[in-house]
Amino acid sequence: MKLTTDLSGLWANVERMGKFEANFNLQEDHSPDFELDKDLSSTAGLDIQLEDLELENGVLSVKGRQVLLFIPDQGQAIDEVLGGIKEGRKFHVADCKTLNSMRQKNRFNRYKATYNTSGLFKVYGVSYETGDSVEGEAELRVCKNCLSYLNYKGYRHGKGLPKKQIYNEYDISEFLSEYSTLFSSMPDRSQVVDKGGYSDDWAEVSTNYRATVNFCCEQCGVDLNSNKRLLHTHHISGNKRENHPDNLKALCIDCHRKQPHHDYMRVTHENMLFLNGLRREQGLFNISNWNQARNVADKAVDGLLRFYEKSGYPLPEINFIIKNNEQSTFQLEVAWPSLKKGIAISAEDIKAGQLYGWNVLSVGEALSEMNQ
């Protein structure tokens, strides 16, 4: 029997609700990117060759993913490393002098790459007591020369207790978050961070709380009604189940990653451009001192700004926009307009600035210059 029912009204309602296309695939993803991310997210890491390592950004990366490099072989110290008695071999995050020395000595093949945020690394060695091969997972510490190379949190100029505190409180998740704008291929937060810990009604709690502050960041004041996904609800204490309003704070994704007690949080360069564009439009970009400059600047240039302040540079412009013509603009993360000098993240902005007669460096080039 032929059906003659008019379904046009039903389809009109479907169109109004928006189309939904199911992506249902029982096949396991064996794409090269999937395998790469799977290896890099493990505590065992990925074997890499010297030519695989990318150094253009100052921090280390492999195929566009920011990574840590570590040596799994702990030799005869393996028992003490696994027992937490010895720190073990340091892992690297930047193109420091130690890593450069290892390359020159042709000892680079000892390293593995990972972006696992647990702080645990799969290591092995030969027991000094028994002579047996031993393996397991151990906590390793960051290389101090890497912290100095990046001037991480002011480590380069720190002394005594503050310098020791920066080293002792170094957090991998926080570090990867702070430099995530330099990379286009870093994994999403869901691939790195355990989703557990939040209460079952967290989505509703978060939405309701952000609505009470009219979807404005309680740190920098930016109004994010136009893009609510960039406004998060932060647990001040770090306890993800403590949802009392006194423990909650609405923060834009940039301010959120600058807080203690958060997991890995990827912030793209595009997100930062959007946020700072809104901040400028909303009159929130008044910078009169170095602290204010660092508060609104991309975290990837924080160490550079601390260095420039200590070195007596004049206060720079942050997120400086130059109109080349009516259709073309380029943006510098840090700029000294009177000197026509600046730092940019986007390769297109670097090229445009240089063509326009500016001395524009990448973040990696600026870090290299700082360490000369």
Q: What is the DSSP string of 198-261?
A: S-TTHHHHHHHHHHHTTTB-TTT--B-TT-GGGEEEEETTS-TT---GGGEEEEEHHHHHTSSS
Mean pLDDT of all residues in 211-232:
95
Q: What are phi and psi of 15, to 5 degrees?
A: -65, -40
CA–CA separation, 65 and 303 (whole Å): 21
Going by pLDDT thresholds of 50, 70 and 90, the confidence category of residue 186 is low
Which residues, in sequence order, are CB contacts of 308 under 8 Å at separation 6+?
316, 334
**What is the torsion angle, in degrees rounded to the nearest 10, for the CA atoms of residue 241, residue 245, residue 247 and residue 252?**
100
8 A C-beta contact, residue 281 and residue 287: no
Mean pLDDT of all residues in 38-64:
89
Mean pLDDT of all residues in 212-238:
93
Q: Which residues pair with 316 in a beta bridge?
A: none
CA–CA separation, 370 and 175 (whole Å): 20
Q: Which two tokens stand for residue 77?
A: 């110290």
CA–CA separation, 67 and 365 (whole Å): 19
Q: Is 70 exposed, middle or buried (0-12, 13-18, 19+ CB in 10 A)?
A: buried
What pLDDT score does 188 carry? Answer: 54
Mean pLDDT of all residues in 107-134:
90
Q: Which two tokens stand for residue 200?
A: 């079952």
Going by pLDDT thresholds of 50, 70 and 90, the confidence category of residue 23 is very low
DSSP state of 91: B
Going by pLDDT thresholds of 50, 70 and 90, the confidence category of residue 140 is very high
Q: Which residue type, as a one-letter code, is found at position 182?
A: L
Going by pLDDT thresholds of 50, 70 and 90, the confidence category of residue 336 is very high
Of residues 314 and 1, more confidence is placed in 314
8 A C-beta contact, residue 176 and residue 66: yes
What pLDDT score does 199 carry? Answer: 85
Mean pLDDT of all residues in 215-220:
95
CA 370, 143, 184, 301 torsion: positive or negative? negative
Closest to 66 (Cα-Cα) out of 28, 40, 97: 40
8 A C-beta contact, residue 368 and residue 58: yes
Mean pLDDT of all residues in 183-209:
74
**pTM higher than 0.95, yes or no?**
no
Provide, rounded to the nearest whole percent, the portion of the chain with pLDDT above 90. Answer: 60
Q: CA dist 22 to 25, 162, 179, 181, 227, Å?
A: 9, 53, 34, 31, 25
**Neighbour tally for 224: CB within 10 Å:** 21
H-assigned helices in the chain:
8-17, 32-40, 78-82, 97-104, 144-150, 160-168, 172-178, 189-192, 202-212, 253-257, 269-281, 290-296, 302-310, 347-355, 363-370
What pLDDT score does 1 carry? Answer: 44
What pLDDT score does 265 carry? Answer: 83
Q: Starting at the edge strand that comes first in sequence, how are the strands of the sheet with 341-343 ordered? A: 317-323, 329-336, 341-343, 359-361
CA–CA separation, 207 and 215 (whole Å): 9
